[in-house]
Amino acid sequence: MINKINFLFVTLFGIGKIKKIPGSFASLATALFLFFLFHILNISPNIILILVIIIFFISLYAVNIFIKNLTYKDPKEVVIDEFIGQSIPICLYEIAHNTKNETSETLMYYFIMFLLFRIFDIAKPFPANYYEKNFKNSFGVIMDDVCAGLYVVLILVLYMVFG
């Protein structure tokens, strides 16, 4: 039972088992889920950010349990890291834009954040590639996606300052 719950958690309720591009599907599902939480249910971005931080810490343990007996320590079916990485720029965007925006503007930013996150997650610029290569555990699995999320935040901040 515990293993089944852990499997559902690290695969984001089975999204990680999708044959092709499970990471992209997980990132898209995350963006849609967060839009629902923020703009339909009107949940505070601060509460969601705290939940993402809690999920980050739970993931460090859960992913280690999942990959313990695997030879490849970053299997494609583990997509909770995409959830965490994609959540970072979206949560910080929502915190920065505390007022209600036009839905079309918000969707445009969500789409941009989704695309940028996928680009950085796939390209893995330093230090993301460092974590992936040097930490063959849950820390390495998760931190490369955290870096990708932070790169998206950096791009958006630069755009807002200089754009």
pLDDT 10s digits, 23-57 = 999 999 999 999 999 999 999 999 999 999 999 99
Tell whether 136 is covered by a domain.
yes
C-alpha 4/C-alpha 32 separation (Å) is 25
Tell whether 104 is covered by a domain.
yes
Total length of the chain: 163
Total domain count, the chain: 1
H runs (alpha helix) in the chain: 2-10, 22-35, 45-67, 80-96, 103-123, 128-134, 138-162
Tell whether 3 is covered by a domain.
no
Mean pLDDT over each residue of the chain, to the nearest integer: 93
- pLDDT confidence of 148, banded at 50, 70, 90? very high
Tell whether 127 is covered by a domain.
yes
Tell whether 107 is covered by a domain.
yes
- pLDDT confidence of 2, banded at 50, 70, 90? confident
Tell whether 47 is covered by a domain.
yes
- CB-count exposure of residue 63 (10 Å: 0-12, 13-18, 19+): buried
| Dihedral angle over CA of 22, 25, 29, 32, nearest 10 | 160
Tell whether 81 is covered by a domain.
yes
Tell whether 16 is covered by a domain.
no
pLDDT at 99: 66
- Digit-coded pLDDT (tens) for 54-94: 999 999 999 999 998 887 767 899 999 999 999 999 999 99
- pLDDT confidence of 103, banded at 50, 70, 90? confident
- Digit-coded pLDDT (tens) for 107-134: 999 999 999 999 999 999 999 999 989 9
Range of the domain at 45: 23-162
Considering the chain, what percentage of its residues have pLDDT values greater than 70? 98
